[in-house]
Structure 1
Amino acid sequence: MAGWTRHQGQAVALPRANVDTDQLIPARFMSASRAEGYGRFLLHDLREGDPDFPLDRHPQASILVAGENFGCGSSREAAVYALVDAGFRVVVAPSFADIFAGNAVNNGLLTVATDQARAILAVLGDGTLSGTADLAAGTLRIGDFDIALTLPEAVREKLINGWDDIDLTRAHSGEIRNFRDRRKSDHPWAFPST
């Protein structure tokens, strides 16, 4: 996956709380090949039969602002795939399910938990607002709302470099190798002889 440092896009409102991973991508669509993309399945059942669904009215949106407890439910990583494949780079909500937030960062999707999400939803209404997320500066601006991004350094590093947990671990392979060699030297009795 490609990393990113700065993203500019349009923010759209999904004024719902407790959007779970089965709503984000219903299980019946997960048999499709990931190579084909999951974006077309994003929020399928909520969109079906609703010609005024916000994502359909604003298909260019790449910043989603939602209600609390976004991404709850199962640990379905395909929910993140659907958002990313649909073009989203940032999701803003008052709170996120922990597993969803972890899956998001490992797939290049920034989650921003902020109480300002409720006020942004109110201002957004049925329209869009311009937004800019800047990982280097640690800021997110949506319309007139400024949000400080207090990201752990590992999260920032993963997003900027396009890394997941394995890539982040590999970035420390020299230190890991040195620790292993030092441990082996200091405690030879702990290692089987060959």
Structure 2
Amino acid sequence: MNKHTIIEGVAAPLPIANLDTDQIMPKQFLRGIDKAGLDRGVLYDLRFDGHGQARPDFVLNQPVYADASILLGGANFGCGSSREHAVWGLQQFGVRAVIASSFGEIFYSNAMNNGLMLATVSEQDAERLFAEAASGAPMQVRIDVERLEVISATGTASFTLSGRHQRMFMDGLDMLGASLQHLPAIQAFAERWHAANPWLKNVASAARARIAA
């Protein structure tokens, strides 16, 4: 993952409260065995009609938002089922961050563990940003992860982020990378545990060896 502290780009307004992960990534796009092609499924039923034709009135289909890298979402964005594909798809679609007044808890964890920045702002700041977006002109937004600020033409909004998630994002680490930062302590614990419980060491390997014999 890339190390960075600033996310800057056009923000597309998506004022839909309780937008769930089934809408962000519909079930028919979950059939693959890898992450490839998930960008096709992002918000599919909002982007396309029943005949597969693009809906011209949907924000992400409008030319002015063709290069949007930030979403301005409604409250409780990403609620619903635990679906990591929703995060992967948004990232493949070019979304680097989502700003909202609140997020679904599981979606939040999935996003932060995969490097998709979620900025939780106050309801008042969210309303201000939506009002700014309603002007019709492309809204440029700058997210400073180090200062925990969302900056636009109409003002600056602070947002919250745990220290662990902030460090992970700034250091370009996913969950595995963050865990490996503690590798010496993990190895030391394993050595102590196996010294105290030697019969538990390499149980799976020993079982496979017996079965093979």
TM-score (norm 2): 0.80
Structure 2 CA distance for aligned equivalents of residues 38 and 86 of structure 1: 8
The answer for the alignment partner of 2:52 in structure 1 is: none
**Tell me, what secondary structure is at the counterpart of 2:45?**
helix
**Tell me, what secondary structure is at the counterpart of 2:198?**
coil
Structure 1 CA distance for aligned equivalents of residues 30 and 91 of structure 2: 15
Q: Structure 2 vs 1, CA of residues 155 and 35 (structure 1 numbering), >3 Å: closer, same or farther?
A: same
Aligned residue runs from structure 1 range 1-194, under 5 A: 1-32=1-32, 34=34, 36-49=36-49, 50-57=55-62, 58-114=65-121, 115=123, 116-125=125-134, 126-180=136-190, 190-192=196-198
The CA deviation string for residues 117-143 of structure 1, in whole angstroms up to 9 with x for no partner, is: 122112212443111112223322133
Which has the larger displacement, 93-102 or 33-42?
33-42
Q: Structure 2 vs 1, CA of residues 19 and 33 (structure 1 numbering), >3 Å: closer, same or farther?
A: same
The CA deviation string for residues 97-129 of structure 1, in whole angstroms up to 9 with x for no partner, is: 010000001111111112211221122124431
User: Partner letter of residue 23 of structure 2?
Assistant: Q
Structure 1 runs of 4+ with >6 Å offset: none
Q: Structure 2 vs 1, CA of residues 23 and 35 (structure 1 numbering), >3 Å: closer, same or farther?
A: closer
**Tell me, what secondary structure is at the counterpart of 1:36?**
coil
**Tell me, what secondary structure is at the counterpart of 2:76?**
coil
Answer whether contact 2:3 2:171 (CA < 8 A) is retained: yes
**Tell me, what secondary structure is at the counterpart of 2:17?**
coil
TM-score (norm 1): 0.87
RMSD of the alignment, in Å?
2.2
- 1:59 deviation in Å? 1.5
Q: What percent of counterpart residues are identical? A: 36
Structure 1 CA distance for aligned equivalents of residues 81 and 131 of structure 2: 29
- 1:191 deviation in Å? 2.5
Structure 2 CA distance for aligned equivalents of residues 27 and 35 of structure 1: 14
User: Partner letter of residue 191 of structure 1?
Assistant: N
User: Partner letter of residue 169 of structure 2?
Assistant: L
**Tell me, what secondary structure is at the counterpart of 1:132?**
strand
The answer for the alignment partner of 2:209 in structure 1 is: none
Structure 1 CA distance for aligned equivalents of residues 140 and 87 of structure 2: 22
Q: Structure 2 vs 1, CA of residues 22 and 35 (structure 1 numbering), >3 Å: closer, same or farther?
A: closer
Q: Structure 2: any 5+ residue segments left out of the alignment?
A: 50-54, 202-213
